[in-house]
Homo-oligomer: A and B are copies of this chain.
Amino acid sequence: MTDLTLALDAMGGDHGPAVTVPAALQALSTNTQLHLLLVGDPDAITPLLARADFGQRSRLHIIAAESVVASDARPSQALRNSRGTSMRVALELVKEGRAQACVSAGNTGALMGLAKLLLKPLEGIERPALMSVLPNQRKGKTVVLDLGANVACDSTMLVQFAIMGSVMAEEVLGIPEPRVALLNIGEEETKGLDSIRDAAALLKTLPGLNYIGYLEANELLTGKTDVLVCDGFVGNVTLKTMEGVVRMFLSLLKSQEEKKGRSWWLRLLKHWLQKKLARRFSHLNPDQYNGACLLGLRGTVIKSHGAANQRAFEVAIEQAVQAVQRQVPQRIAACLESVLPESD
């Protein structure tokens, strides 16, 4: 592996540097070819580097940024006031070629707007989409998009998401002729919103795409499709519902109350079984696949969950490394031309 530089928005997310800096240090330890540019307030970042060793320090640079995009700012407002923010500076580093990708846990709408403004969408793509690769029951992977970059989507956007998802599944995950489905509230053709029915009609006519029809949300983890497409509002709600239920199960598994008077060996065995079960379900833990990729741009941008803990933010950094190594934007650009319906 050759050297690789990422720009981290160190100030973004609910916890800011308290999470991003320790995660950055851990990523530098794990990956010795990695260089990180920590963008943000040096006074907030520097104290957290006290325990960094020489190897970590030498591959880490602080890039000062004077302000932060507010998590509750409207995208338009955030864009107007974005100059000098850690998010914008991190994206500019990618634009200038000083970093190969950017990772931020900040305001999703602002990240989408700024990334589009600075890095530009690929030819043929109107709006980039947030994509995650979710684990499924069959131990395979499912590409899901959009997860919240676009709250409302028309049929053209859904079709573009389907194409990008299909390229991602084929070129990056190595799934031949990936199955592509639209998320809907029924499998019958008459179900759902107009935008979805129109997208279905268009997808059927695309020769390079293996469109298999509608899937309902209870099939999210069953592996019946390789790519699942929906608008950003629905995608975000689906992902968060899933995360909420998974986290509840994992916490219930751990928190079984103990009855007194039970023999020690029974308690020990129960504890062992619980740990085993928790491990068995651990690949479903949302922290393990944090980091959604903003697909459809001329650069790589990874959006971490705002509430990400250190482990989850490390995973988002790792996603950025993989997206760069697998040349996701370049591969999507190369495939788009042959698959996209010709525009007039």
Residues of A within 8 A of B (CB): 71-74, 108, 137, 148, 151-152, 183, 185-186, 188-193, 216-222, 230, 232-234, 236-249, 252-253, 256, 266, 269-270, 273-274, 277, 280-281
Contacts known (A72-B190, A193-B152, A256-B280); A185 close to B249, Cβ less than 8 A: no
B233 touches A185 (CB 8 A): yes
B185 and A237 within 8 A (CB): yes
Q: How far is the CB of A212 from chain B (nearest CB, A)?
A: 17
- The distance from the CB of A284 to the nearest CB of chain B, in whole angstroms, is 8
| With A72-B189, A151-B185, A193-B152: A222-B234 Cβ-Cβ less than 8 Å | no
Complex CA distance for A245 and B137, rounded to whole angstroms: 10
Name 18 extra pairs, CB < 8 A, besides A72-B190, A245-B249.
Answer: A72-B186, A72-B188, A72-B191, A137-B248, A152-B193, A183-B237, A192-B233, A193-B233, A217-B244, A218-B241, A221-B244, A221-B248, A237-B241, A238-B238, A241-B245, A246-B249, A256-B280, A269-B269
27 CB contacts below 8 A, A to B, read A72-B190, A72-B191, A74-B190, A151-B193, A185-B233, A185-B240, A193-B233, A217-B240, A217-B241, A218-B241, A218-B247, A220-B244, A221-B245, A221-B248, A237-B237, A237-B238, A238-B238, A241-B242, A242-B242, A242-B245, A245-B245, A245-B249, A249-B249, A252-B281, A256-B280, A266-B269, A277-B277
Instruction: Please name all residues of chain B whose beta carbon is closer than 8 Å to the beta carbon of A192 when the two chains form the complex.
Output: 151, 233
> Which of chain B's residues has its CB closest to A72's CB?
B188
A190: chain B residues within 8 A (beta carbon): 72-74
| Residues of chain B within 8 A of A238, CB atoms compared | 217, 237-238, 241
Contact A220 B241 (CB under 8 A): yes
Cα A277 to Cα B240 with chains together (Å): 24
- If the complex has contacts A71-B188, A253-B277, are A237 and B234 also in contact, measured as CB distance less than 8 A? yes
Hey, which chain B residues are within 8 Å of A243, CB to CB? 218
- A300 and B68 CA atoms in complex are apart in Å by 53
Instruction: Collect the chain B residues with CB atoms within 8 Å of residue A108's CB.
Output: 186
User: Bound state CA distance, A241 and B235, in angstroms?
Assistant: 11
Q: Are A240 and B269 CB-contacts (below 8 A) given A151-B193, A192-B233, A233-B193?
A: no
- Residue in B240, B246, B266 whose CB lies within 8 Å of A216: B240
Q: How many angstroms between the C-alpha atoms of A161 and B177 in the bound complex?
A: 43
Q: How far is the CB of A80 from chain B (nearest CB, A)?
A: 14
A256 shortest CB reach to chain B, Å:
7
Chain B's closest residue to A253 (CB) is B277
Query: How far apart are the CA atoms of A39 and B169 in the complex, in Å?
Result: 48
Q: How far is the CA of A233 from the CA of B153 in the complex (A)?
A: 14
Q: Which of A222, A233, A238, A253 has the most CB of B within 10 A?
A: A233
- In angstroms, Cα B190 to Cα A137, docked, is 36
Residue numbers in B under 8 Å from A234 (CB-CB): 233-234, 237
Find out whether the CB atom of B151 lies under 8 angstroms from the CB atom of A249.
Answer: no
Distance in angstroms from A247 CB to nearest chain B CB is 7
Q: A72-B189, A236-B185, A237-B237 are in contact. Are A244 and B269 (CB under 8 A)?
A: no
Q: Distance (Å) between the CB of A12 and the closest chain B CB?
A: 14
Chain B residues lying within 8 Å of A266, measured Cβ to Cβ, are: 269
Which residues on B sit within 8 Å (CB–CB) of A270? 273
